[in-house]
A and B are shown apart, each in its own frame.
Chain A
């Protein structure tokens, strides 16, 4: 893959308008024990900063991937983006409307209709007591899109075919389907309210490889056909590489690197991104040894001072222990690392 090829691909990309705008997003969880326990055990309050000042934006029709390991805050961001969890600070705007801002019930409904989510576990995301048809019809009913029961049933059948299932499958219960088929049902439900922004929270990590490919291809196909915009949450870099237009790498609640996908995979900048890429198993068997990475992710309740990554960083500097690195522009990437501070 030549660098020229990359540049051309970037240039030819049509300039699209920004659909999702996330600014200064922050979420703190209060993990303190009840008041009485704190008094008796003489413990202070305990806070966990799951998301710490995250900014990014997603353009219409693109896929923005958030990558991170456990404790990185990626799922918390997903929940805030769809309106399931209020942020402690910062804002998320979708098509100009603040997800968490005060608005009329009508505007609220209009906004919710445009945001949907696909969950990780297809075995938990479908109500086991409901028929598949009712599950998919629920958003249509809730948003009052189609009132006639017959038309609604027809629409459900249409959605089922859209995700590659038989329209007659609506009569069945979720337990009659395999994991991959259930994820298709979940996708059909997400599409039922005709959204333009879908948050995919690890949509394939519970699936087998051969099924994972089906679901990833389906998501991509739907994006092209319906012009969807995705926020794609994953810990699997190889998967992200196949779906993302832009990638943000999270470490303990902070966005350490953000870049167009091609650039990030061709030339990772942040030491943590490099480390993650090296940790991907070598399926091609080129004989490269997986780089053994020192240490584990620290407890997110008491993250290291300065750059959170400094205790594991192979190229740390004295200032890394004390100062939180500001974002630096490196080519098309934004990197939060002191290494690039002196260069700029």
Chain B
């Protein structure tokens, strides 16, 4: 089956006065129709900029410097702005963190929905209005008919985000990009929005690229996860595997650093030393190597490409048999204990 979105060897550069920064370096992933792919990473890891690149709205001077982006088999990264504008909204829906930025405060909700529907679909105003009302009902807004003539400020935060979801789905897109859709909302409302987004996209068979820093949201929503670190892929795999049995040292550290409602609260949280490098100061070799407890020789020299690891892939030399054999036995033992599924036979690891 053709993936709804296919990103191949994407490279995004930001030229600045101090040199060219590589915001995304050699990133590849697919999203199948009806699938939710979670994009996680710390701030500055490049998750949002990837979303912007896909919808062709990279903020200048950022630019796609390499790689390809395909939407349902059609290449879209080199389309002229005019064509891209048509694809946005119709074939790709967008949901942002702050619902207020997606809604025009001066227009009624109904008019904004009708306008979006009619730009992308041949319909009479009356039909579009009917559809707008159906959409509002679908996203769970009570008294949808009367609410059509309300202004954005008359809605609560959660209700606004529901309207934004309705707007994003108005033209039945193949792909929905949701950038931190729940970050601005209260905990008690987050669950409602997540459930809604997941249900509606599943019903329509739309693929979702869910960008968030919140592993909890990913664990509940995504089918697969893509973990980014300093603009590079760290790990990609089915959500259950990545959350329960992470294969990249960074993901392992990330998962154990999250405070949870189980476990001993008196024990100090596991922490990753240091912080993510700035784009201008990414170390040679693996970007994570200065903070990594399993670092060995090749890590500081060569950049690891994604290797098969467990049920997914991880950009770590521990998963490359040729390299892993060079690692000290102690490192391998520790990695094994941390749940990293080494690709070399156990006997060799023990040596």
Contacts and interface: CB of A to CB of B under 8 A. Distances in A.
A277 B275 contact: no
Given A280-B216, A281-B215, 4 more contacts: A210-B271, A211-B42, A238-B258, A285-B240
B188 A213 contact: no
29 contacts: A181-B275, A209-B42, A210-B257, A211-B275, A213-B257, A213-B269, A213-B271, A217-B269, A236-B259, A237-B187, A238-B261, A241-B265, A242-B259, A242-B265, A265-B261, A275-B188, A276-B188, A279-B190, A281-B219, A281-B220, A282-B219, A283-B216, A285-B240, A285-B243, A291-B191, A292-B195, A296-B159, A296-B186, A297-B188
Contacts, number: 128
B265 A261 contact: yes
Given A210-B257, A293-B191, A283 B265 contact: no
Contacts of A221: 268
A310 interface: no
Max chain B CB contacts within 10 Å: which of A209, A265, A293? A209
Contacts of A208: 42-43, 213, 275-276
A209 B254 contact: yes
Nearest to A208: B42
Given A242-B259, A265-B261, A293-B191, A283 B219 contact: yes
B192 interface: yes
B50 to A, nearest CB: 17
A284 B195 CA distance: 18
Contacts of A209: 42, 213, 215, 254, 257-258
A217 B195 contact: no
B244 interface: yes
A220 B268 CA distance: 8
Contacts of A285: 219, 239-240, 243-244
B253 interface: yes
A214 interface: yes
B158 interface: yes
Nearest to A244: B265
B259 A239 contact: yes
A12 to B, nearest CB: 12
How many chain B residues sit at the interface, stated as a range, is: 35 or more
Contacts of A237: 187, 261
B194 interface: yes
Contacts of B156: 296
Interface in B150-165: 156-159
A69 B187 contact: yes
A179 B42 CA distance: 11
A262 B138 CA distance: 41
Nearest to A238: B259
A148 to B, nearest CB: 34
Interface string A210-224: 111110110011000
Interface of A: 69-70, 178-181, 208-214, 216-217, 220-221, 235-239, 241-242, 261-262, 265, 275-277, 279-285, 290-293, 296-297
A178 to B, nearest CB: 4
B270 interface: yes
A213 B274 CA distance: 11
Nearest to B213: A208
Contacts of B191: 279, 281, 290-293
Interface in B40-62: 42-43
A110 B257 CA distance: 38
Contacts of B192: 292-293
Contacts of B273: 214
Interface in B319-348: none
Please list the 10 inter-chain residue pairs (A to B) with the smallest Cβ-Cβ separation, ordered nearest first.
A281-B216, A208-B42, A213-B257, A213-B271, A213-B269, A69-B186, A238-B259, A290-B191, A210-B272, A178-B275
B158 A296 contact: yes
B95 interface: no
A279 B188 contact: yes
A280 B261 contact: yes
B187 A235 contact: yes
Max chain A CB contacts within 10 Å: which of B157, B217, B261, B276? B261
B30 interface: no
B262 interface: yes
Contacts of B195: 290, 292
Contacts of A293: 188-189, 191-192
B214 interface: yes
Max chain A CB contacts within 10 Å: which of B262, B265, B268? B265
Contacts of B255: 283
B104 interface: no
Contacts of B158: 296
Contacts of A283: 215-216, 219, 243, 255, 258, 260
Nearest to B195: A292
A216 B259 contact: yes
Contacts of B159: 296
A209 B260 CA distance: 12
Contact of B253 (A210, A220, A282): A210
A210 B216 contact: no
Nearest to B277: A178
Contact of B217 (A235, A281, A292, A296): A281
A297 B243 contact: no
A21 B277 CA distance: 44
Interface string B107-143: 0000000000000000000000000000000000000
